[in-house]
Structure 1
Amino acid sequence: MNTRYTRTEAAALPLLWRGDVLIAGGGSAGCAAAVAAARSGADVLLVEPAGFLGGTGAAVLDTFYGFYAPGGGRVVAGVGWELCERLLEDGQAFERPNTYGAGTGVTYEPEALKRAWDELVLGAGARVLHHARIVAVVLDGERVRGAVVDTAAGPGVVLARNTIDATGDAEVAWRAGAAVDRPAEQNRVQPLTATFRMGGVDLGATPVAELHRLMAAASGDYRLPRLDGSVHRTVLPGVVHTNLTRVSGVDATDPWQLSAAEREGRRQVAEYVRFLTERVPGYENAYLLGVSVRIGVRETRRLRGRYVLTREDVLGAREFPDAIARCGAPIEDHDGGNGTIWVYVGGGPSGRSYGVPLRCLVPERTGHLLVAGRCLSATHDAHASVRSMAQCMAAGQAAGTAAALATGDVADTDPAALRAALALHGALL
């Protein structure tokens, strides 16, 4: 199928929408971008393949990390924290220390998250198109002018002055011909995880350290690819959320590999459930409630932008004049093996953080396009820090604000003017 259309070719398809800002992907970054752009006065369309907003946050996980720096205070506010406040005030979330000292997390109820994003995005004035996938981009030379969207009614065209790629997989940037890195080709891609929930659990019966000891002791009797991980309480009594499985060596942009990974994730869930109910105190009467809607993907394509965030930038807590977000999350690398690599900003949980440059959202050449979320421009190590969902929301707010304020190519945004606008709307810089 053709993944690039000229405006003349696109004119042969039905026009579904024309406006100021097109956002591909309704996850943490895309939703924050839609809220920010619409509040800034833009006519906004958010295109999402699923029937709900929230992305990985609603389909796979139940805790936001990155709002707090380990050993310190909050480093992300703005739209993302407004979402958290709404959930906290409704009794649909609580703050919780991270098992590994990665900073306080905000654990929420995923079903409440879907509704909260509905209210924020639509309340801001953005339009949302569900069950729609961008399958091609509309180009004028190297400038993105819109996209071809596949819907239940067939393909149609959406046109915008500027576009934000918040797909996680850099789908729009890749289809437009922007330079991207493919971690799987370099044999350094983080593994995938199918999360699951269990009911009827007495979580207080087995501390996490004891759970890890039991996993190591039982590894010869069960096929447990990961011997650490997280099991934590949720908003619901007796229900725990479990992040234990590990499907390694998968290129999640390969449809066959991704399909196999979904099946392997479910197989691993069954094995971990068997281990928990047979060997772990507190799980004697536990039962599986459900597996994540889709397998969780940590890393696929990354934009090669005007700046590439590096390991040295992260660990050195570097500041940038064009910073549009802050991050204090450690490098959390699940790359192979049965453990996880943790390396902290500034060498330890000291509360230090670094800036995320606007240039990490801007393609080297492709015009009228920004990325936001985990497909931003970063090395493998830096990405293992900056991919946290709070940073995805902060980058989304920056991208949405820039796209709304731009009178021409959003790639030419003045960083100082953008930073001023973000600070006015509560962002921490």
Structure 2
Amino acid sequence: MNVLWEGDVVVAGGGSAGCAAAVAAVRSGASCLLVESAGFLGGTGAAVLDTFYGFYAPGPVSRRVVGGVGWEVCERLFEAGAAFERPNTYGAGTGVTYEPEELKLVWDALVPDALLHARVCDFVPGTGVVVETVAGRFLVKAQVVIDATGDAEVAWRAGATLDRPGMRLQPMTATFRLGGVDLSATSTAELHALMADADLPRREGSVHRTVHDGIVHTNLTRVTGLDPTDPVQLAEAERVGRRQVRDYVGFLRAKVPGYGSAVLLSTSVRIGVRESRRLVGRYVLTSDDVLAGRDFPDTIARCGAPIEDHASGDATRWEYVHDFGTYGIPYRCLLPVEVGGLIVAGRSLSATHDAHASARSMGQCMAMGQAAGTAAALAVQAGVEPAAVDTELLRKRLREGGALL
């Protein structure tokens, strides 16, 4: 098989975690190639959503818990006039709402070497990965592979132990944008009261302003009972999501003041997946860790987000960290037990269903990605496996890169 690229680190997946990992690896002195199946970077952040959560912990005082590469992205968006901060609908901490098209450009500027329209289709122990491209399959050689696919696809192909808890998986959501909306005509509480009497799969959720006057972004639909790692079921989820979008748009136009002249501008590029495969790594983060606000000697990211479980009927279950505290995410949560040369970053981290429902926010994904990229570079430079990286040195390098630990 022909070699397409050879270097230190390869990152599979160009979402929040993968992009941050690639930036951190290069800034730490490693050569790095990012492989992304779409034609743009940003992943769910550019294809489905328009708000970063997890940068701030909830509570009476706004407290930022993520810095580094992730916060640099936010600052670039602020400077471009393409982002603003807003309170979360459910008191889950300040969110950063941004323009997805500008986010694509920000990641283009930050990620030096990205292979788009390509997908990692095999893991080759000790060598790297195989990628599928428009010109066929190629070998990409690297000493360390970072799985930032969101679905733990590389870890699955490599034979790592994974947890996919059947249909307790969180539901998927097709988001959509509307134009011609007067948000001042209906409060969130009034919207939810109207939804409570409607025949809809989800009777709460978010409709919020964007950087453009009269344009709103929604997080309303709820697609349940389908497995995003099953190709047939994933295709059906996309169809169900679009039908739900039609129903929600019809409800908003007919029943909600301010939406009578609303126009559907777009639906999400792909359905939003909250949860699929999760790594069972060297440490499994638990709900007790989250709710008690525990810290760890190898903490590489912080989180204050509540447990936000959408897998509980037509409403969402919220449980908050004790006393508005925060908890640490250990480096061990990114490390497979059985597979060498591999780090898993992003929403596939090693965590239980409940803990994952807190740690999966994009702010934390960027923080985990920065840790993974930094650790990969340190592993290459020291000639050791990622699991043997000196965690004190890793934490020192992360702090030097602006991370908040």
Quickly name the TM-score band, shorter chain normalised. over 0.9
Alpha-carbon distance, 1:351 to partner: 3.5
Structure 2 counterparts to residues 9-408 of structure 1, below 5 A:
13-71=1-59, 72=61, 73-122=63-112, 127-140=113-126, 145-184=127-166, 187-219=167-199, 224-346=200-322, 350-406=323-379, 407=382, 408=384
Alpha-carbon distance, 1:420 to partner: 0.6
Given that residues 125 and 341 in structure 2 are in contact (C-alpha distance below 8 angstroms), is that contact kept between their aligned partners in structure 1?
no
Alpha-carbon distance, 1:373 to partner: 0.2
Alpha-carbon distance, 1:216 to partner: 1.3
SS in 2 for 1:212: helix
Given that residues 125 and 340 in structure 2 are in contact (C-alpha distance below 8 angstroms), is that contact kept between their aligned partners in structure 1?
no
Alpha-carbon distance, 1:353 to partner: 0.3
Q: What's the TM-score once normalised by structure 2's chain length?
A: 0.98
- Match for 1:146: what amino acid? G
Given that residues 191 and 336 in structure 1 are in contact (C-alpha distance below 8 angstroms), is that contact kept between their aligned partners in structure 2?
no
Alpha-carbon distance, 1:120 to partner: 1.1
SS in 2 for 1:334: strand
- Match for 1:239: what amino acid? I
Alpha-carbon distance, 1:412 to partner: 1.1
SS in 2 for 1:340: strand
Residue in 2 that maps onto 1:423: 399
- Aligned counterparts of 1:172 and 1:387: Cα–Cα separation in 2: 18
Could you list the per-position Cα deviations for residues 138-176 of structure 1 after superposition, in whole angstroms to 9, with x for gaps in the alignment?
124xxxx21110000000000101010000000111100
The 4+ residue runs of structure 1 with deviation greater than 6 A are none
Count of aligned residue pairs for this structure pair: 400
- Aligned counterparts of 1:286 and 1:402: Cα–Cα separation in 2: 48
Given that residues 70 and 366 in structure 2 are in contact (C-alpha distance below 8 angstroms), is that contact kept between their aligned partners in structure 1?
yes
SS in 2 for 1:115: helix
- Aligned counterparts of 1:64 and 1:218: Cα–Cα separation in 2: 29
- Aligned counterparts of 2:204 and 2:27: Cα–Cα separation in 1: 42
Alpha-carbon distance, 1:36 to partner: 0.4
Given that residues 248 and 336 in structure 1 are in contact (C-alpha distance below 8 angstroms), is that contact kept between their aligned partners in structure 2?
no
Q: What's the TM-score once normalised by structure 1's chain length?
A: 0.92
Could you list the per-position Cα deviations for residues 268-294 of structure 1 after superposition, in whole angstroms to 9, with x for gaps in the alignment?
000000000011000111110010000
Residue in 2 that maps onto 1:3: none
- Aligned counterparts of 1:49 and 1:345: Cα–Cα separation in 2: 36
Could you list the per-position Cα deviations for residues 245-304 of structure 1 after superposition, in whole angstroms to 9, with x for gaps in the alignment?
000111100000000000000000000000000110001111100100000000000000
Given that residues 183 and 299 in structure 1 are in contact (C-alpha distance below 8 angstroms), is that contact kept between their aligned partners in structure 2?
no
Could you list the per-position Cα deviations for residues 394-429 of structure 1 after superposition, in whole angstroms to 9, with x for gaps in the alignment?
000000001011122112111111001101111001
- Match for 2:102: what amino acid? A
Alpha-carbon distance, 1:336 to partner: 3.6
- Aligned counterparts of 2:273 and 2:195: Cα–Cα separation in 1: 24
- Match for 1:18: what amino acid? E
Name which of structure 1's ranges 261-270 and 113-122 shifts more when overlaid on structure 2: 113-122
Residue in 2 that maps onto 1:6: none
- Match for 2:330: what amino acid? P
Residue in 2 that maps onto 1:7: none
Compute the RMSD of aligned alpha carbons.
Answer: 0.8
Structure 2 stretches of 5 or more lacking a match?
Answer: none
Residue in 2 that maps onto 1:8: none
- Aligned counterparts of 1:287 and 1:269: Cα–Cα separation in 2: 12
SS in 2 for 1:258: helix
Could you list the per-position Cα deviations for residues 339-358 of structure 1 after superposition, in whole angstroms to 9, with x for gaps in the alignment?
00000000xxx431000000
